[in-house]
């Protein structure tokens, strides 16, 4: 799945671009490290980039090889990568960590300026680093967008639930004793929305509460209804119950909207994933649409990764190692790398742990050897990483006998 990079020759010219939020710095250097165009700044607009390209073309002979090195900068560098560059020019995306390391090699670890960054980018491109930018699969971009949207909405929903429970405790003290998971059940949501005032619920009674729920297609057991009504009759009055009920009502509207947005995102992911290179991953036990989509969003285009070792290293799960003077000291997990990728791999490993027989046996064996939960989770993430990479690479479905 790797992409070929054209080798650097004596006629290679490097266009180094350091991208910011609204502007970028560009320099042009040949293979002998002679500066053809000193660093200059241009605005990140269509006309600004066109003028910059025209200025570069004025000093670049038609027969030479041109490599454009762009340091990844969140989403700010994407328009530069997607620009229509002249035919034959190769666009390379550089990892910010590599650029930072190159500054350190040049003795400028504590100094970061755009001019120093373009010099570091130039050296990296001349050394053969950089990932070629190909036409990105639109489906992968849409999967990434919906997975990120869902993740943000889930985080917001969790925070909203925590705040909502605080208001519910003020409006209806003691409800969580009768319904421990108030917001996780339909009857709990019904009580929070319709009976935040315990006096109203106490006056309704058990039988009418059951009928009230039945009208809304909810099957409410009498034992649960009796507990809820008893909690309402025994609830302590609070001074701020009135304002708590008003805020609670607003939070419930927000919570319902978040639920709808999360459902929409999952529906879109369910439609997009089968059309992506990651479609076969859902054949693995425990790997549903959401888990696989989070992995796809964190990984991006699978063609950019030479193998599973590079993916695992990029996740930050590889342990640190120090060796000098024939002495070696292994450290803990570095946690340097992509947080989203690390979480996605661990989540895939958990899916295997809970659902795949061979993975269960592997995890039990590690626990029997005294390994704690963190080590087991990382080991299963490593296993999941290898499985996922192989299935995407071979466009194959999961075969238990192959991974037993």
Which pLDDT value is given to residue 8? 64
Yes or no: is domain 141-270 CATH 3.40.50? no
Which pLDDT value is given to residue 272? 94
DSSP structure string for 216-260: TT----HHHHHHHHHHHHTPPP-TTHHHHHHHHHHHHHHHHHHHH
> Would the CATH topology of 12-135 be identical to that of 141-270?
no
pLDDT band at residue 77, thresholds of 50, 70 and 90?
Answer: confident
pTM (two decimals): 0.75
The phi and psi torsions of 270 (rounded to 5 degrees) equal -65, -30
Average pLDDT on 375-402 reads 93
Which pLDDT value is given to residue 289? 96
3-state class of 132 per DSSP? strand
CA angle 15, 130, 378 (to 5 degrees): 150
Domain 12-135 class?
alpha beta
Give the domain ranges of the chain: 12-135, 141-270, 278-394
Percent of the chain with pLDDT over 90: 53
3-state class of 40 per DSSP? strand
Which pLDDT value is given to residue 229? 93
Average pLDDT on 233-261 reads 92
Average pLDDT on 162-179 reads 89
Alpha helices in 234-368 (DSSP H): 241-272, 289-299, 308-314, 339-355, 357-368
Which pLDDT value is given to residue 1? 47
Cβ proximity of 9 and 123 under 8 Å = no
pLDDT of residue 335 exceeding 60, the answer is no
- Digit-coded pLDDT (tens) for 25-61: 999 999 888 999 999 999 999 999 999 999 999 988 8
Distance separating alpha carbons of residues 73 and 71, to the nearest angstrom: 6
pLDDT band at residue 344, thresholds of 50, 70 and 90?
Answer: very high
The phi and psi torsions of 66 (rounded to 5 degrees) equal -115, 125
- The region of weakest confidence among 100-109, 189-198, 285-294, 295-304 is 100-109
Tally Cβ neighbours within 10 Å of residue 272.
24
pLDDT of residue 78 exceeding 90, the answer is no
């Amino acid at each position: 799945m790797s992409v070929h990079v054209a080798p650097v020759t004596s006629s290679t010219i490097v266009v180094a671009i350091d991208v910011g939020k609204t502007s970028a710095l560009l320099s042009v250097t040949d293979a002998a490290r002679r500066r053809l165009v000193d660093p200059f700044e241009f605005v990140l607009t269509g006309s600004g980039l066109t003028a910059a390209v025209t200025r570069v073309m004025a000093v670049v002979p038609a027969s030479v090889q041109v490599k454009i090195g762009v340091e990844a900068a969140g989403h700010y560098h994407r328009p530069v990568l997607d620009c229509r560059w002249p035919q034959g020019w190769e666009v390379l995306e550089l990892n910010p960590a590599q650029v930072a390391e190159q500054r350190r090699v040049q003795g400028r670890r504590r100094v970061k300026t755009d001019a120093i960054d373009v010099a570091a980018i130039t050296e990296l491109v001349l050394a053969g680093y950089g990932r070629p930018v190909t036409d990105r699969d639109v489906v992968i971009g849409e999967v990434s967008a919906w997975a990120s949207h869902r993740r943000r909405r889930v985080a917001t929903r969790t925070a909203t639930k925590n705040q909502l429970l605080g208001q519910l405790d003020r409006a209806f003290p003691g409800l969580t004793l009768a319904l421990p998971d108030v917001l996780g059940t339909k009857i709990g949501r019904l009580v929070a929305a319709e009976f935040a005032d315990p006096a109203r619920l106490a006056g309704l009674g058990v039988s009418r509460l059951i009928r009230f729920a039945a009208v809304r297609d909810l099957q409410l057991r009498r034992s649960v209804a009796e507990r809820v009504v008893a909690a309402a009759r025994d609830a302590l009055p609070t001074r701020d119950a009135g304002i708590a009920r008003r805020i609670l009502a607003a939070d419930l509207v927000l919570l319902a909207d978040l639920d709808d947005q999360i459902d929409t995102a999952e529906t879109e992911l369910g439609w997009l994933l089968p059309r992506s290179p990651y479609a076969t991953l859902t054949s693995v036990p425990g790997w549903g649409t959401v888990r696989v989509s989070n992995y796809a969003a964190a990984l991006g285009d699978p063609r950019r990764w030479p193998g599973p070792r590079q993916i695992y290293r990029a996740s930050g799960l590889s342990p640190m190692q120090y060796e000098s003077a024939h002495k070696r000291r292994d450290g803990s997990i570095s946690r340097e790398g992509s947080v989203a990728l690390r979480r996605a791999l661990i989540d895939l490993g958990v899916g295997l742990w809970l659902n795949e027989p061979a993975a269960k046996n592997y995890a039990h064996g590690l626990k029997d050897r005294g390994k704690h939960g963190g080590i087991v989770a990382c080991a299963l993430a490593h296993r999941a990483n290898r499985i996922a990479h192989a299935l995407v690479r071979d466009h194959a479905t999961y075969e238990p006998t192959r991974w037993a």
